Amino acid sequence: SQQGEEDPQALSIQEGENATMNCSYKTSINNLQWYRQNSGRGLVHLILIRSNEREKHSGRLRVTLDTSKKSSSLLITASRAADTASYFCATEGAYNTDKLIFGTGTRLQVFP
C-alpha cells in the first residue's frame, strides 16, 4: 500500500513558471524525501526534510512539511525544460524504519 500520494498526477507548464506538487501520507514519519526521475533513468534524490522541520530550500527547490495535515509540497521556481521529469515523494515511517515508501509520482512537463 502506498504511504504517499502525489497530487496532481500530471502537470504541464511553460518555462519560467513555478511548479507545485503535493504529497499526502497516512502515518507518522521520521522524514520525507523528494526524488526526480527522468524518463528511462533511475531516481535522483532532491531533498530530505525531517519531521521536526517545516521548510527547506535547495537552489530553485522549496519543500514544506505540515505534519498536522500529513502533507508536503515541492515548489520548483522558474521552471526550465530540463525540469521535465516525474517527481516522487517517499516517507520513512516513524515505526517502520530502514525503508522508504514511495508515492505514485507527479509527471511534470515544462514547455519551452
Q: Which residues contact 40 (CB under 8 A, 6 or more apart)?
A: none
Phi, psi angle pair for 82, to nearest 5°: -70, -10
Distance in angstroms (rounded) separating the CA atoms of residues 51 and 48: 10
Among 11, 19, 32, 43, which residue sits at the site for other proteins (rule: CB under 8 A)?
43
Among 22, 67, 104, 109, which residue sits at the site for other proteins (rule: CB under 8 A)?
104
Among 63, 79, 83, 92, which residue sits at the site for other proteins (rule: CB under 8 A)?
92
Residue keyed to cell 497516512: 26
Stretch that binds other proteins, among 11-19, 30-38, 53-61, 66-74 (CB under 8 A): 30-38
Q: Is 105 in the site for other proteins (CB under 8 A)?
A: yes
Do residues 69 and 76 make contact, with C-beta atoms less than 8 angstroms apart?
Answer: no
The residues that touch other proteins, with contacts defined as CB under 8 A, are 1-2, 30-31, 33, 40-45, 48, 88, 90, 92, 97-105
